[in-house]
């Protein structure tokens, strides 16, 4: 039987219901954009199939292949654990993120009108929510789209030309009980603002966030879907690449 090939969106049955699942994850590769100052990614052959055959000797088995990986805990689509932006909470590392925050109701908004390297204000957020017909509620994830995702294959532009949430907007979003905020950009902070107001507020409120989220505009509804993200349990890490999904009922 030929294995199923990758598709970014599928329709499947789950608990007797027809469910759409959309992949919101970026690939992990040496060529992908890396946040300035973060470790680059490298993959290499640690053991090829042919080398395995040489090691095993006389066997009909065609061998197995193994690759090595060196990377940062904040690459591709990834979650920032609280310890990333609050040095006083080493207990809130990525391996300690609750399952309650990994699969949540979600809404998405479009703030792509905001100019790169400026702040997304509270007025921008409220207007975008109104246009989307969306209301933030406790336990939700908010995804916001800046438009920088179209530059994913232009790494220098991608990591430098996007807006970020200011302190007031961030505080208001978290005041609504939002437990995760995600964006298509490399950071939730304006790259021209080295005070990192968004990261600072998330550190104060002990709330995670998710960066480099793909395919946000392919979610066909602004509300009525779930956001799911699954970090690896790297003990003591400040973040992890995630497989992120949007899930909604037919």
DSSP-assigned states of every residue in 165-199: E-HHHHHHHHHTT--EEEESSS-SS-TT-TT-HHH
Instruction: Kindly state the tokens that stand for 83.
Output: 């310890």
Which residue in this structure is represented by tokens 């999904």?
245
Asked if residue 215 lies in contact with residue 22, where contact means CB atoms within 8 angstroms, the answer is yes
- Which percentage of the chain shows pLDDT scores above 70? 100
- Provide the pLDDT for residue 81: 98
- Provide the pLDDT for residue 103: 98
- Provide the pLDDT for residue 1: 87
Domains of the chain: 39-72 (no CATH), 78-249 (3.50.30.50)
Is residue 91 predicted with pLDDT exceeding 90?
Answer: yes
Q: Which pLDDT tens digit goes with each residue over 210-219?
A: 999 999 999 9
- Provide the pLDDT for residue 34: 98
Instruction: Kindly state the tokens that stand for 201.
Output: 């507020």
Give the residue-averaged pLDDT of 117-144: 98
* pTM reported for the whole predicted model: 0.96
Contacts for 48 with CB less than 8 Å, ≥ 6 apart = 63, 65
CB atoms within 10 A of CB 62: 11
Give the residue-averaged pLDDT of 171-192: 98
Q: Write down how long the chain is.
A: 250
CB atoms within 10 A of CB 67: 10
Dist. CA 189–CA 168, nearest whole Å: 12
Is residue 183 predicted with pLDDT exceeding 90?
Answer: yes
Dist. CA 206–CA 226, nearest whole Å: 22
- Provide the pLDDT for residue 202: 98
- Provide the pLDDT for residue 186: 98
- Provide the pLDDT for residue 30: 97
Q: Which pLDDT tens digit goes with each residue over 30-56?
A: 999 999 999 999 999 999 999 999 999
């Amino acid at each position: 039987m030929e294995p199923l090939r990758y598709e970014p969106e599928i329709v499947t049955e789950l608990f007797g219901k027809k469910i759409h699942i959309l992949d919101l994850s970026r690939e992990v590769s040496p060529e992908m954009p890396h946040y300035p100052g973060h470790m680059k990614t490298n993959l290499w052959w640690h053991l090829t199939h042919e080398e395995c055959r040489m090691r095993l000797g006389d066997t009909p088995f065609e061998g197995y292949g193994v690759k090595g990986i060196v990377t940062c805990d904040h690459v591709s689509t990834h979650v920032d654990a609280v310890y990333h932006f609050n040095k006083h909470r080493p207990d809130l590392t990525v391996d300690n993120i609750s399952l309650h925050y990994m699969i949540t109701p979600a809404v998405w908004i479009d703030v792509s009108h905001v100019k790169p390297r400026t702040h997304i204000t509270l007025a921008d957020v409220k207007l975008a929510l109104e246009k989307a017909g969306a209301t933030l509620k406790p336990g939700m994830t908010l995804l916001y789209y800046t438009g920088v995702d179209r530059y994913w294959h232009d790494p220098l532009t991608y990591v430098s030309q996007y807006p970020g949430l200011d302190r007031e907007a961030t505080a208001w979003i978290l005041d609504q009980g939002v437990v995760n905020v995600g964006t298509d950009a490399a950071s939730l902070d304006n790259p021209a603002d080295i005070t990192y107001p968004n990261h600072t507020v998330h550190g104060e409120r002990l709330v995670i966030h998710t960066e480099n989220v793909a395919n946000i505009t392919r979610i066909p509804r602004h509300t009525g879907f779930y956001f799911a993200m699954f970090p690896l349990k790297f003990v003591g890490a400040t973040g992890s690449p995630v497989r992120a999904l949007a899930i909604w009922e037919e």
